[in-house]
Amino acid sequence: MSPPDGSLPFATPETASAPPTSAEVRRGVTAATPVLLGMLPAALVLGAQAAQKGLSSVEVLLMTSLNFAGGSEFAAIQLWTSPPHILLIVAITFLVNSRHLLMGATLAPFLRHLPKRKALPALFVMCDESWAFGLADAKARHAAGWSPAFSLPYYLGSALSVLLVWATFTTLGAVVGPFLGDIEAYGFGMAFPAIFLVLMRGMWRGFRAARPWLVSLGVAAGVHLLVPGAWYVPAGALAGLAAAWLLAEERG
């Protein structure tokens, strides 16, 4: 059995065999539940905004299920016109989602034991939340001596629950949004930043380890203020990666 907070089982590799798949899936869902509750307002806001732009509930469901990247979906809706500028929306979506290149790269070493028929679908359902859960759990399992360190059932439990809640409540937002008026007036827009702050707090390992985060934040904020468009996303990601590499060289 797993603790109620979704952390690793109390047993160690030396004292117990691998937990059953169902228990690992439940552990992933349990770990993701607080974030799922925080996602509800953001999902409703996105769905309502999409409906106000003329998208149907079916179109919203397809967008959030197939793209499954909240940041780029918000950006796409802000740029949506009738008819839509497809190339512009595709370009901005690529820029906003470019962070997934780095996220996938950090997760890849833990997926080497998986065949591609399992690894590729796992990466398809990866988002910021499931990536953070999967990576933190894999590092904890590795430190505890579990092999393999990456628990695919745990990861899928968190990732698929996030996907289900996100797609369901964005669709619900598209249905009820037109009846609620300006849903942002309720302050729901703060839900998205709050989720990321919670995820960052869970990965906090002290100021020294957080220096690449701060560099990334500073560069992204500066580019956002000075350069139009979503260039601050790849700029911040690349600056953080460069800072992490330089700091690692210093320690070496």
Greatest CA separation found in the chain? 62
> Hey, where are the domains in the chain?
21-189, 204-251
CA triplet 194, 198, 201: central angle to 5 degrees?
135
Q: How far, in Å, are 39, 49, 59, 138 from residue 174 at the CA level? A: 15, 8, 9, 36
Which has more pLDDT, 115 or 187?
Answer: 115
**pLDDT tens digits, residue range 58-116?**
999 999 999 888 878 887 887 787 777 888 788 878 877 877 888 888 899 999 999 99
* pTM exceeds 0.75: no
Average confidence (pLDDT) over 32-49: 87
